[in-house]
Amino acid sequence: MSTVRQRISDNADKAETEDNKNAPKEEEEETPEGLDLSGSLLPQATDQTSEVLDSALKTLPPRWRNWIVRGIFSLVMIFSFFFLIYLGPLALMLLILVIQLKCFNEIITIGYVVYRSHDLPWFRTLSWYFLFASDYFLYGENIIDRFGLLLSRDDFLEPFVKYHRFISMCLYMAGLMGFVFSLVKKHYLQQFTLFGWTHVTLLIVVTQSHFITNNIFEGLIWFFMSTSLIICNDIWAYIFGFFFGKTPLIKLSPKKTWEGFIGGAFATLIYGIIGSYILMQYDYFVCPAEYSPELGSVSMQCDPRPRVFTLQEYNLPQTIKNIFFLFGIPKTTYWTYPFFFHCIVFSLFASVIGPFGGFFASGFKRAFKIKDFGDTIPGHGGLMDRFDCQLLMGTFVYVYILCFIRAPNPNKLLQHVMMLKPEEQLDFYTKLTDELMKRGILGQ
């Protein structure tokens, strides 16, 4: 037995005696013999805390030790998160990139081990190459969407802005050709399986994390509320389940209960309303991140604020109007922030649909007989174990913004005009001047 295997299987033995929350105990599932699901080489949550922490906690029983480690690292993550929020959208974008790389690595490693592809030529290189091509495309789209005008002023960068999609496609097609060249007899099946594996991972991790990045630039409140609603729901569902949990919710996650589910949903709703009210007070959270030529950097100010964060008058529902009328109160409208409505929708999504991301991930882990996606965060498992629900939420908020919030963006329109030929730009300018004068928007 090699030393690596030795160490990992030692750890596995140790873990057996502890409180294994999600470990699939039943081994009755049929496993095709070609697949290596023994898990002997898969990275597992090994409870490998740093040595300092280890020696400090040595005297405690393992169950308690695990709790404390989990708690400490939860706090560490929450504080790092706040610090990055303070640093601003670019730092958060980097955070998402790092998380995405790590999640991709975790999932690819599982495929790599399960399909015993250690001797496959180029597989890892190709996987990372496809990741690179996808990220080049998606981050490029993001950046061009926000800062395209600025970037295209630079002679060197201009073609990269203008032909971004074409360059991305060439990168991808080169990868595809590389894959075809890398095909070797006897391994076709493995190679195509891993090709599929890589692409599904790209679809799940990379595309969705691109949506999250987009939410960051739309205004930090969108990003912060969506992520914290999921975290809040996780924590409160756990607490409610711990104290009142009786009725099991779904077979896939035997520890989840209806009590936790409902309690979590209520707590998330309340948090959503209070949290969004507090954050709405700050320009820093409310304004979309845009490049400001005056500051020479990304600005987090806006004037006026987007309509969704300003008080609006709404009609009261007819029933309530009638009740008020009975009491002689002449109130027929009320004032509120539109964002409240959106936040209620997000809270419901975070507590009702969001958990399906987690169920999906636990089904996946059971399929491959692994406990966790990795051992990145002591006490928590892999990064993917923490972010499974975040991905679904991020996608929801992204599409929600796209359909219900985003009005045509003047900056983007300007960017499109700048893509016209000079004579067309001039033509457009005169037409616009005429039109604005006709409407009396432009004086004289």
Non-local (6+) Cβ contacts of 237 within 8 A are 256, 260, 261, 263, 264, 351, 355
Determine the Cα–Cα distance for residues 150 and 422; give it in Å rounded to an integer.
18
Determine the Cα–Cα distance for residues 191 and 120; give it in Å rounded to an integer.
8
- Binding to a second copy in span 324-363, by CB under 8 A: 353, 356, 359-360, 363
- Binding to a second copy in span 244-283, by CB under 8 A: 251-252
Choose one: 117-125, 224-232, 309-317, 406-414; the region binding a second copy (CB under 8 A).
Answer: 406-414
Closest CB to a second copy among 311 and 403?
Answer: 403
Tokens of 261: 């589910």
Please tell me whether residue 122 binds a second copy under the rule CB under 8 A. no
Closest CB to a second copy among 270 and 432?
Answer: 432
- Binding to a second copy in span 306-325, by CB under 8 A: none
Closest CB to a second copy among 4 and 432?
Answer: 432
Among 368, 380, 383, 390, binds a second copy (CB under 8 A): 368
Please tell me whether residue 91 binds a second copy under the rule CB under 8 A. no
Q: Are 283 and 302 in contact (CB under 8 A)?
A: yes
Please tell me whether residue 242 binds a second copy under the rule CB under 8 A. no
Please tell me whether residue 436 binds a second copy under the rule CB under 8 A. yes
Determine the Cα–Cα distance for residues 6 and 86; give it in Å rounded to an integer.
43
* Burial of residue 338 (number of CB atoms within 10 Å: 0-12, 13-18, 19+): middle
Please tell me whether residue 400 binds a second copy under the rule CB under 8 A. yes
Closest CB to a second copy among 92 and 398?
Answer: 398
240 sits in which H/E element: helix 220-244
Shortest distance, position 131 Cβ to a second copy, whole Å: 15
Tokens of 122: 């180029």
- Binding to a second copy in span 141-170, by CB under 8 A: 149, 162-166, 169
Determine the Cα–Cα distance for residues 381 and 19; give it in Å rounded to an integer.
13
Tell me which amino acid residue 393 is: M
Please tell me whether residue 67 binds a second copy under the rule CB under 8 A. no
Please tell me whether residue 292 binds a second copy under the rule CB under 8 A. no
